[in-house]
Amino acid sequence: MSSSEKSQRRISRRDFVRGAGVSAAMIAGASMAPAFTERALAQTSTGVPEQWDLEADVVVIGSGAVGLPAAIRAVDAGASVIVIETNYDIGGHAIISGGNVPLGGGTSLQKKYEIEDSPDLYFRDLTDWSIVETNGMPEYRYNDRGIQRALADNAAPTYEFLVENGVEFVDQAPDNNGAHATGLSAPREHHTIWGEGQSLESPAGAGGTSLMRPLEASAREKGVQFLMNYHMDVIYRESPSEGRVVGIKAGYTPTILPGTDTPLVGFRTDGNIDMTAETVTVKANKAVIIGTGGSTGNVEFRRIFDPRVTEEYILGGEPYSPQDGSGEMAALAIGASLWGTANQAHERNGYIRKRNLAGAEYLYVAWTPDSPIFPLARATGLRIRDWQNVICVNQVGKRFYNEFEAGYPNGTSQGSLDPYIPGDWRNASRVEYKPQNYVDAALAINEGSTAPDFAAGPIWAIFDAAAVEREKWSLEAPNTDPTFFFSADTLEELAAKLTENPYQKAEMPGANLVATVERYNLMVELGADVDFDKPTPQYKIDQPPFYAAWSTPCIHDTYAGLRINMQCQVMDMKGQVIPGLYCGGESAGGCTQHGLARCLAQGYIAGGEAAAETI
Ligand SMILES: Cc1cc2nc3c(=O)[nH]c(=O)nc-3n(C[C@H](O)[C@H](O)[C@H](O)COP(=O)(O)OP(=O)(O)OC[C@H]3O[C@@H](n4cnc5c(N)ncnc54)[C@H](O)[C@@H]3O)c2cc1C
């Protein structure tokens, strides 16, 4: 599906609601401006609405790892807060995340387990230019030092803030499990408690729920209001590229599942502003905070940084949370600058990841049928336990790597470099060079591609009936998705079917697939993969029916975005602050740390700073 088709899908959801008859907005809450139905559509010469539908001191865009801490910090400081969220429920990627939180700098949990850490150590780590991953890519070299200093100084306070707001962490020494780019001097991964018996509703049954639901509860109890199902499209500034940011415009984006006509409703609705108007304007008396989660779900935007990542690479958080670059684009439209773009171009931190799932479009999370959005995910996928059971081929039916080794890079984390001498240029030479662990090779293969993009196209896992037996797979729906999983009695027939998949643009030559499998079977007899060094190929592919399962890598994170300063204020192309505009997390640039810690800490910073604005 192309990016324009994806946006069409969103538009058609809106159209559906419009067609069904939009009810008059029912506006609740004390801080609301005149009713939506009376809204004057007239705009000033600069496009700023003369009247607003809603109003708050601080308007937070997104309810993920940035948005909820920002909202709580702002409301704690006495500000009225509205969170605008395009999804039907809160949480973004954070609620479907593993809930492993790499905060450090001397948290109370680190202290309890006598782990030596400090803001200075954390700062030194996250700006250590000498650290490279096993493919030679530098982890921290291109970090913005001011942004790292702010992260280092606020990481431990953010941890205490999370605990104060109800988040429970496993009472054990922080470690490195799940850690990426956390620095090498101290273990910093803190794990939220996620266990049986917890009545925390989760779209993906994931640990991040035990991070986000307590924050949601705290925010709602403290009076934060939520405008769900609204997508921020425009940020208003006093004049197009001058003056303060004064508010936003958002459009109605209910999530309507296939075959139903009722929008999905989130786990909690108390504190929600009840509106279904097509658009809404929201005045921000003090500030707007962008926490929209990055741009890797927007094919055109992500290709600014890495032109290889054409449409076939699905985002890890989809279909729950697409991350469409809307925060960045709205800010760029009023003069903001991008920052730290090298960080996105580098294939590091597992920015692109091969998964051990196949046969479904959305492979990063193993969506289960009890997820409220399973009709959008459509299939659970087949878990590949042993890569000996499959070969991977490109869009023209040829193998191109060692299926066994290519995939999920470990990067460098605490304990992985011995000795680690901070800042020592020889650190780079102590890292074992293993670029083949990265899936770069997959994206470099573009045989059979065509103008204008010469896209590498899909990657298919090919296997036979004997592999199905060995893996004990059940191939029926909902384990597999009929447009991402195919079977046939011959390899030629299998190859011919693949254009039923929207990303397989040209027919895979059947002769290629036959030749690839015949050659692989010979190498199994030989006991050696002379082409790509897969360790002792074990199983022939010769028992019909034959299968092709979608096995294209996923894109995981955004590491480049808007330029911010140490207070998380958005900066323009002249290096000046855009007054009243803040940003953090994956929509902000300058920080290569993967995941939750930078997002939570930047939300924490932005919320406090925004509430303290004096107009
Ligand atoms: C499956 C998975 C597992 C992960 N596991 C971990 C882990 O264990 N540890 C870790 O550190 N990191 C992990 N991560 C990464 C981490 O979850 C993200 O880096 C983090 O949540 C990003 O925070 P954010 O606030 O920038 O974006 P998000 O948390 O994604 O929040 C962005 C929110 O903004 C909303 N939004 C977007 N655009 C608009 C708009 N225009 N208007 C209104 N709302 C909008 C989105 O719907 C979303 O709710 C994981 C990510 C995934 C996908």
Domains, in order of start, for the chain: 1-19+43-351+556-615 (3.50.50.60), 352-400+445-554 (3.90.700.10)
Structure tokens at 427: 């650190």
Q: How far is the CA of 93 from the centre of ligand 1 (A)?
A: 3
Q: Which two tokens stand for residue 93?
A: 């990627």
Q: How far is the CA of 211 from the centre of ligand 1 (A)?
A: 12
Q: What is the mean pLDDT of the chain?
A: 89
The mean pLDDT value for 609-614 works out to 97
Q: Whose CA is nearest to atom 17 of ligand 1?
A: 94
Question: Token digits for 224?
Answer: 């934060």
What pLDDT, on a 0 to 100 scale, did the predictor assign at position 253? 96
Q: Whose CA is nearest to atom 29 of ligand 1?
A: 64
Per-residue confidence at 9, pLDDT binned at 50, 70, 90? Answer: very low
**pLDDT for 13 beyond 50:** no
Q: Are 360 and 552 in contact (CB under 8 A)?
A: no
pLDDT at 495 over 50: yes
Tens-digit pLDDT profile for residues 70-121: 999 999 999 999 999 999 999 999 999 999 999 999 999 999 999 999 999 9
pLDDT at 186: 95
Q: What is the mean pLDDT of residues 379-401?
A: 96
Residues 6+ apart with CB under 8 A from 481: 359, 360, 361, 378, 379, 550
Apex 531 CA angle, 528 and 535, nearest 5: 40
φ/ψ region of 371 (left if φ > 0, alpha if ψ in -120 to 50, else beta) reads beta
At 405 the pLDDT is 80
What pLDDT score does 25 carry? 31
pTM of the model: 0.93
pLDDT of residue 26: 29
Which is higher by pLDDT, 5 or 133?
133
Q: Hey, which of 73, 84, 90, 93 would you mutate to test ligand 1's pocket, going by the most ligand atoms within 8 Å of its Cβ?
A: 93
CA–CA separation, 553 vs 574, rounded Å? 38
User: 27 versus 395: which is more confidently predicted?
Assistant: 395
Residues 6+ apart with CB under 8 A from 439: 347, 352, 353, 354, 406, 407, 553
Ligand 1 atom with the smallest distance to the CA of 584 is: 26
Please check whether residue 131 is in contact with residue 422, taking contact to mean a CB–CB distance below 8 angstroms: no
pLDDT at position 440: 66
Q: Which residue has the tokens 């059971």?
A: 389
Residue 38 has pLDDT above 80, yes or no: no
List, in order, residues 6 or more apart from 157 with CB less than 8 Å away. Answer: 604
Asked whether the predicted pLDDT for residue 11 surpasses 60, the reply is no
Say whether pLDDT at 42 is over 80.
Answer: no
Q: Measured from the CA of 586, which atom of ligand 1 is nearest? A: 26
Ligand 1: residues with CB < 6 A are 61-67, 84-87, 91-94, 96-100, 102, 178, 231-232, 291-294, 316-317, 321, 323, 326-327, 364-365, 557, 585-587, 594-597, 599
Interval 159-175 mean pLDDT: 97
pLDDT > 60? residue 135: yes
Q: How far is the CA of 609 from the centre of ligand 1 (A)?
A: 22
Q: Quick one: average pLDDT of 575-595? A: 96
Structural contact between residues 105 and 122, judged by C-beta atoms closer than 8 angstroms:
yes
Check pLDDT > 60 for residue 500: yes
